[in-house]
Amino acid sequence: MKKYLLLLSLAAFSLQVSAQYVQKSTGDGSDLQREKSISLGLGTTGVSLEGKVGLNQHFNARLGISFLPVTYSGPLTLDGVKTTANITANLGKVSLLGEYKPFNTLPIRLVGGVGYIFSASPTATLQPTQSYKLGQTTLSPNELGEMKIGANWQGIAPYLGVAFCHDFPKHKFNVNVDLGTYYLPKPTTTWEGTKLLNDNQSNEQQLDQNLSGYRWFPELKISLNYKIGK
């Protein structure tokens, strides 16, 4: 946790320095340059908390953190074999994004930047619940053992998207919509087993191949923004 807070603090410092630099370069006469907001969002990447500052008439900077907890316990059938599954998949990320407003009259912004995925390691523990026939031998669930499958997408993830509605509230509150995608790092996988399910080197290699293309993580997010200051 200390490492994640340190990363967030460094990103916040970078955001503050960038804002001060742009204000010095473009002047302090515009109210827009000093606009700031904080937002609470909910979307496909989880619950988010984000701060935003206007750099000049066309650019804003955003710094945020989000978390998406996923758990499942229940029946799951794989290749015709019934199992009991325990699945956890907690996604956590920090992001530093920039917004560009190409239009003066339309509330549409292009968004780009980078996220750091500090938690993205889903695991699934599978225990067969039915007997399995191997040749002339019938094996009980206890004789088969159990499997534990995992994957890890931790690392740097570029982001590209669009944002809709006014970037800052005209009064105190407004709503924004974000639509975009993160490009996740190539995942690493593990496949462990007990008893008759313990030899999984070939399965792990196949899992690596199957998941290698799962790197796009779409984000659809609705945020409630609160304007800081006047």
**Residue in 172, 181, 174, 173 with CA at minimum distance from that of residue 215:** 181
* Residue ranges of domains in the chain: 2-228
pLDDT for the residue numbered 29: 40
C-alpha angle 143-145-151 in degrees, rounded to nearest 5: 165
From residue 50, give the alpha-carbon distance in Å to each of 29, 97, 155, 192, 228.
Answer: 26, 10, 20, 38, 13
pLDDT for the residue numbered 132: 81
pTM to 2 decimals?
0.80
Task: At 27, give phi and psi (nearest 5°).
Answer: 95, 160
Element (H, E) at 144: helix 141-144
From residue 181, give the alpha-carbon distance in Å to each of 59, 163, 178, 222, 223.
Answer: 20, 12, 10, 14, 16
Please give the structure tokens belonging to residue 51.
């701060």
pLDDT for the residue numbered 89: 92
Local mean pLDDT, 10-residue blocks, the chain (230 residues): 46 45 44 79 97 94 96 88 92 97 93 96 92 83 90 96 95 96 94 84 81 94 93
Please give the structure tokens belonging to residue 113.
């930047």
pLDDT for the residue numbered 161: 98
C-alpha angle 163-166-171 in degrees, rounded to nearest 5: 145
Give the single-character DSSP code of 57: S
Q: Which CATH class is domain 2-228?
A: mainly beta
Task: At 64, give phi and psi (nearest 5°).
Answer: -150, 170
**Residue in 81, 92, 13 with CA at minimum distance from that of residue 53:** 13
